[in-house]
A = this chain, B = another copy of it.
Amino acid sequence: MNIKTTEIARYLGETVTLHGWLHHVRRLGGVNFVIVRDGYGLAQAVASETDLAPLAELTDGTVLTVTGKVVAARSAPNGAELHAPHISIITPIREAPPLTLHQRTINATLPTLLDHAVVANRHPERQAILRIVAGAMTGFRQTLQAQGFTEIQTPKLVASATEGGANVFRLGYYDSEAFLAQSPQFYKQMMVGVFERVFEVGPVFRAEPHNTTRHLSEYVSMDVEFGFIENHFDVMVVVEQVIRGILTAISHSQSSELAMLRAEMPQMAETFPNIHFRDAQQLIYELHGEDVRGEPDLSPQDERWLGAWAQAEYGSDFLFVTGYPMVKRPFYTHPDPANPEFSNSFDLLFRGTELITGGQRLHQYADYLAALDAAGLPHTPFASYLEAFRYGMPPHGGFAIGLERLVMQLLGLPNVRLAALFPRDMGRLLP
């Protein structure tokens, strides 16, 4: 019977076949372990020198099958191992890989690791990270589908660099030009007019002019938008459900990956605490003596202080900061009706770093015309977008989660590139 490495302990006493890659042959004082890596994990076979004969002159990465009898073994991966294995070669490999994959961590610089991501992603730790990336997408979708959200896929080729115009990739499009979408913002709003509640998981493109540890030129954005809200607090309720849904899904489906990576799952209060932007600045002044009151945004240091405060005060790794000043938010942001210099928007801080931005959007056609005028933007490039409001839109809002950044922060990775399969930045288009 063909089984996965992770299933081995279910077949004690039976003869099974593993297929996969030769992870390594370990020779320990006369005992040989053939370690097999498949797409799910590792398993080992205890092999005599004779059993090893088919591997003569072959090296790690060789594709093979190993058939043997399953015996419980506490120290083996997944709690069991094969005895008296028969090894059969599928694809012989004689050249050592450019990175050693059989040690606990990859012993290579980040550029080398990324240059050889095709091979490096086969390392068990890399597999585990990328499987958590997949699990996060699944948790995101499951949570939203259970609440009547409809999945959309919106165009990535767009006619104008509508959201700002900086950091946008431009390309020739037949006889004219096009841009790569920096976010599905406008399209997800339009689709609220169709389905009320929508989400999208897809690539977005940012021509980031700097190399930082937190930015990619292409990343996966998990977007949500929905209608018939009261204000941004209704959006925050869904943010919290989505975060809990993702964490639950990962805890359930990727528990061994989380254990391998020694991930600290977030501490969560009964409900995520929130604080108004203005109160947050006042708090920083009182706690740390630094007077940031009146600043239009929070600095990274401010965010760290607030994160520490939420942890101390509420035992929560998450903190919503609400009501950011309008001046720092995009033109479609809904102002706070009671205090229009502040907005009905929020950031979610996770362990003292911004993870999610969201809020309520304008929904009245006249408000859009006024907001574009106030921002000095022409109406024409927005004509299609404006049709949504011209012909009826409910109060609505939404948010976006950067998939790689979520996983970076969750796992404490030092660089967002490590949460991408094949990252893209100023200097990297390959592999």
Contact = CB atoms under 8 A, between A and B. Distances in A.
Interface of A: 4, 19-22, 38-40, 61-63, 90-91, 93, 95, 97-98, 116-119, 121-122, 126-127, 130-131, 133-134, 137-138, 141, 145, 148, 150-159, 169-174, 176, 178, 180, 187, 190-191, 193-197, 201-203, 205, 207, 217-218, 220, 227-228, 363-364, 383-385, 387-388, 390-395, 403, 421-422, 424, 426-427, 429-431
Contacts of A138: 145, 151
| Shortest beta-carbon contacts, A-B, top 5 | A39-B196, A384-B431, A171-B171, A61-B392, A159-B429
Given A91-B363, A202-B202, A429 B98 contact: no
Contact of A91 (B20, B171, B205, B392): B392
Given A39-B195, A429-B176, A424 B90 contact: no
B194 A127 contact: yes
At the interface, is chain A mostly helix, strand, loop or mixed? mixed
8 contacts: A39-B194, A40-B148, A118-B391, A137-B153, A153-B201, A153-B220, A154-B421, A157-B217
Contacts of A131: 150, 195
Nearest to A123: B194
Contacts of A217: 157, 173
A387 B421 contact: no
B150 A384 contact: no
B155 A134 contact: no
A98 to B, nearest CB: 7
Given A19-B394, A141-B141, 11 more contacts: A91-B393, A118-B190, A119-B388, A134-B150, A134-B151, A138-B151, A152-B421, A153-B403, A157-B429, A171-B180, A174-B426
A391 B170 contact: no
